[in-house]
């Protein structure tokens, strides 16, 4: 399936092109072509407008979170229209923005209000209700011959809106894979800590994690969502194998075993907060 390279991580949502109207024209310089929703915006979770500059082929997307909820994850699809007005079913793109870890960071912070305030200063944190985000997209040939849609949106209260089953399951598979990795890492670290005779429990944990990673890599999963789930699991475990040696560095007043124990305890809190957002009750098999 061809992918449209022009669209990367878009921190915005869009409405179907059928519900949009061009309100001005341009010669490609100033003013730009502006696309605005023609439907009432009071029922639209995320209101989107965009300005298109023919030179240098740039789309500036303006998104307003009108849902009344904080958004912590979403997927957007973008398709081009063919000359006859129909959609190009082959050329499409799907982009995902994941902010669940940002939500957990706020919940675990010593001063959640301070952490939230810092995130509100950045477009990389939670997409807070009532806020807007702008994102430039380069290399777009037209601002009017597009159809963009928010296929999936996850909210901070663990609810979600889903308009594309495959996109929903792909994003959920990524979340579940990360959760599975966290649980497996904690299980292996706890086993290493359970043996008081183990002089370097971090090294023991890294050894076992490496073995598990090889075993999981040798497994095959023909289901695309299962494959996505395990890819995320492997990537996260590989990251842990690289990060754990930092706990072996001497720190005044603490032992390696104490640091590793504290590390596991902190991760257990993250697991507890992440679990409701991973919807393990939903089967991903096709």
Of the candidates 117, 20, 129, 10, the one whose C-alpha atom is nearest the C-alpha of residue 71 is 129
Per-residue pLDDT tens for 90-131? 777 777 889 999 999 999 999 999 999 999 888 778 999 998
CB-based contacts of 121, cutoff 8 Å, min separation 6: none
Task: Give the pLDDT band of residue 36 (cuts 50, 70, 90).
Answer: low
The rounded distance, in Å, linking the Cα atoms of 264 and 30 is 56
* Sign for the pseudo-dihedral over CA of 13, 17, 22, 27: positive
Lowest mean pLDDT among 116-125, 145-154, 168-177: 145-154
Average pLDDT over residues 173-182: 96
Task: Reply yes or no: is the peptide bond before residue 31 cis, omega within 30 of 0.
Answer: yes
- What is the DSSP-derived secondary structure letter of residue 141? S
Lowest mean pLDDT among 152-161, 212-221, 223-232: 212-221
Sheet-wide strand order for 160-162: 87-98, 71-81, 146-155, 160-162
Is residue 152 pLDDT above 80, yes or no? yes
Per-residue pLDDT tens for 237-272? 999 999 999 999 988 889 999 999 999 999 999 999
Sheet-wide strand order for 132-138: 20-22, 33-37, 46-53, 58-65, 132-138
CB-based contacts of 125, cutoff 8 Å, min separation 6: 99, 102, 118, 119
């Amino acid at each position: 399936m061809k992918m449209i390279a022009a669209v990367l991580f878009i921190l915005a949502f869009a409405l179907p092109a059928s519900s949009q109207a061009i309100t001005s024209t341009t010669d490609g310089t100033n003013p730009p072509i502006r696309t605005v929703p023609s439907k009432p915006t009071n029922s639209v979770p995320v209101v989107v407008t965009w300005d298109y500059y023919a030179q240098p082929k740039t789309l500036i997307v303006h998104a307003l979170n009108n849902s009344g909820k904080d958004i912590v994850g979403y997927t957007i699809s973008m398709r081009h229209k063919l000359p006859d007005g129909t959609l190009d079913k082959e050329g499409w793109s799907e982009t995902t923005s994941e902010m669940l870890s940002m939500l957990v960071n706020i919940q675990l912070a010593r001063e959640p209000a301070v952490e939230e305030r810092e995130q509100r200063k950045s477009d990389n944190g939670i997409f807070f209700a009532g806020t807007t985000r702008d994102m430039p997209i380069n290399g777009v040939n037209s601002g009017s011959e597009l159809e963009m849609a928010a296929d999936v949106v996850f909210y901070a209260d663990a609810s979600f809106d889903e308009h594309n089953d495959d996109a929903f399951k792909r994003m959920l598979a990524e979340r579940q894979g990360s959760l599975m990795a966290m649980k497996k890492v904690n299980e292996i670290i706890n086993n290493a800590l359970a043996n008081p005779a183990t002089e370097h429990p971090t090294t023991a944990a890294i050894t076992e994690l490496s073995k598990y990673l090889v075993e999981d890599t040798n497994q095959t999963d023909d289901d695309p969502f299962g494959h996505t789930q395990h890819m995320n699991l492997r990537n996260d475990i590989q990251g842990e194998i690289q990060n754990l040696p930092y706990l072996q560095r001497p720190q005044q007043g603490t032992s390696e075993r104490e640091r590793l124990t504290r590390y596991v305890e902190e991760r257990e809190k993250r697991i507890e907060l992440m679990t409701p957002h991973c919807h393990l009750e939903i089967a991903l098999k096709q």
